[in-house]
């Protein structure tokens, strides 16, 4: 049986780049201004969460509720303060972007 090696730094960087692309697409679709540093912070939050998969003690935090919470935090880090209606629209764009980029 072949052995597989997973490099955590590559998982982190790949997740960081994809999360930043999703957040950037969200900002473009929502026609809102954004800060690159906040995009990096939101993407890093999601990338850190993706590393929970490799820590057995944290596997309990991989459920759908926690994933929803992390996605809400990512959007909040990048786009708050914004009006509540705008945040809901941005969340919708975030999930649309996630599904679209995940399917490609």
- Is 26 a residue whose pLDDT tops 90? yes
Report residue 104's pLDDT band, with 50, 70 and 90 as the boundaries.
Answer: low
**Where are the extended beta strands (E) located within the chain?**
none
Nearest 5°: CA angle at 98, between 92 and 101? 135
Give, for 43, the enclosing helix (H) or strand (E): helix 36-50
Question: Which class for 53: exposed (0-12), middle (13-18), buried (19 or more C-beta within 10 A)?
Answer: middle
Q: What is the pTM of this model?
A: 0.88
Beta carbons of 20 and 36 less than 8 angstroms apart: no
Residues 51-101 pLDDT 10s:
998 888 988 889 999 999 999 999 999 998 989 999 999 999 999 999 998
- Is 6 a residue whose pLDDT tops 90? no
């Amino acid at each position: 049986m072949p052995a597989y090696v997973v490099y955590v730094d590559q998982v982190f960087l790949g997740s960081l780049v994809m999360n930043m692309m999703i957040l950037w697409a969200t900002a473009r679709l929502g026609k809102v201004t954004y800060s690159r540093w906040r995009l990096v912070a939101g993407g890093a939050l999601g990338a850190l969460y993706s590393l929970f998969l490799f820590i057995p003690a944290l596997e309990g935090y991989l459920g759908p509720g926690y994933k929803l919470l992390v996605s809400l935090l990512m959007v909040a880090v990048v786009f708050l303060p914004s009006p509540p209606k705008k945040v809901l629209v941005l969340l919708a764009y975030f999930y649309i972007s996630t599904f679209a980029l995940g399917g490609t």
